[in-house]
Structure 1
């Protein structure tokens, strides 16, 4: 592995693409982009629906099985790689951050889909046969549009892709009934957005509770009721995730990473990381580089 984790833009990948979107049968895509078997990041949104194949994948250092009927979604910036034990097949779509901007007025439209939350456990779904059939038909229509001799109707592709998202969101809502837009769900979504914007500066639940105009106890109860973890754990997990992403780059010294994450000094960062990951940052870095 190179000293820096590769970051791929949609324009750098081989396969069919048209103005901000790349659509492909997965086996063909992988044969043209074998470098993606190693840990990497994307600057674009990414989804794969597997119809064949088995193995394992990692999304932000969490492991998930690969199997037929599984679909996963990724947002820009996440670290990812695959390890297949049998030959995979399926459908793949990559699209740019701005892909829907000419169709939708809402700039944050994708954020309403829980599978685009950036939380790995919500991004990987095993679909029942009836949902598989629905989205397979839609994926085939998207592929046909891309292969058509006439100019691609980009708005049609966008609408078809939104149909995929809506079908998956409806299914996911049956698994996670709390996803309905209740007051508490809105609070939780706002808390997660605040963490994403402030995790390097604000590391205490009471700081976020103040921004949300609720008490720390209310915030903690909210997180425990909906997610089964404390508010402090969510903040800490986001800091640890960023630490892991930074550690993949061996050109960054541990002290520089501690500084980027606003720890008072390197030793405090090492102690913090070891407490929750059960290994030092340096040992974690070696395990990623050498694949142990």
Structure 2
């Protein structure tokens, strides 16, 4: 097996791209020890068979993907296993977390439709024949290889990745987008998207329930069924993750962070943060500033 892996990792974009050559019977599992460095958070994989054919699966489910076809899946990327069915099989993989979609300035309707597919917990897959997506993926790789030393390269990389996402959307729209998503999944998708845009200002489940024209109880039940977490737990997760990032940057005072996250004062923010993390904001920040012991 021959594998070449590259990673884009900056403030606006994070994905992993690899070219893999396999001989018949050789296997590739998308985990760190195979050098692809697929992250635990990665929940989307776009796999393009450039030549040959493969058997790809997760658990007991197996699908054959032949030359010129693209395999797209949601769910944990690290659980995928690829087996070459032909000699000299070449594939290109792009793995990423769907959170990256929010950095692309996609239209709201398009983003909502994407999340109806990507956020489904059923580990769906999609196979399609398309010649253009390989050309776009090759362009993305070229830009990624040259993404050093030029201040405009980060913007070029973002544009190239966006083009690849549009090409992927084109495949999904053919068969999946807007095709009888369950009402619960659609509600979950709408809630998640709305939460992503409003969590700093709106901390109550009732706000999102009112906007989605359902009761708080019904919304919480649906979110629990779809994600395993309650609506309030997801809201708390967004707020605390943002608070951690702001505390780590050490640019704002704790009072300023409390105001930015729409808490009435620093005391209420401190109690909220400590209830969830076990540390006060001050102790959390101080622990980050402690010298590392080798």
TM-score range, shorter chain: 0.5 to 0.7
Match of 1:48 among 5, 16, 21: 16
Match of 2:105 among 86, 97, 101: 97
Once the two structures are TM-superposed, the CA of residue 196 in structure 1 deviates from its matched residue by: 2.5
Cross-structure match for 1:192: 192
Cross-structure match for 2:230: 230
**Structure with greater strand share of residues:** 2
TM-score, normalised on structure 1? 0.52
Alpha-carbon distance in structure 2 between the residues aligned to 1:77 and 1:158: 9
3-state SS of paired residue (2:181): coil
Alpha-carbon distance in structure 1 between the residues aligned to 2:190 and 2:270: 30
Q: How does 1:184-223 map to 2 (within 5 A)?
A: 184-223=184-223
TM-score, normalised on structure 2? 0.52
Alpha-carbon distance in structure 2 between the residues aligned to 1:67 and 1:187: 28
Question: In 2 relative to 1, CA 109–250 (structure 1 residues): closer, same or farther, beyond 3 Å?
Answer: same
Alpha-carbon distance in structure 2 between the residues aligned to 1:55 and 1:145: 18
Once the two structures are TM-superposed, the CA of residue 72 in structure 1 deviates from its matched residue by: 1.3
Alpha-carbon distance in structure 1 between the residues aligned to 2:270 and 2:78: 31
Alpha-carbon distance in structure 1 between the residues aligned to 2:17 and 2:116: 13
Q: Deviations over 1:163-222 (max 9, x none)?
A: 44566899xx8xxxxx95222222222222332233233222223222222212111111
Match of 2:95 among 59, 66, 71: 71
Cross-structure match for 1:182: 182
- RMSD of aligned alpha carbons: 5.0
Alpha-carbon distance in structure 2 between the residues aligned to 1:193 and 1:167: 22
Kept in 2: contact 1:53–1:66 (CA 8 A): no
Unaligned runs of 5+ in 1: 1-24, 31-35, 79-94, 99-105, 148-155, 174-178
Q: Which has the greater radius of gyration? A: 2
3-state SS of paired residue (1:47): strand
Pairs aligned (count): 211
Once the two structures are TM-superposed, the CA of residue 66 in structure 1 deviates from its matched residue by: 11
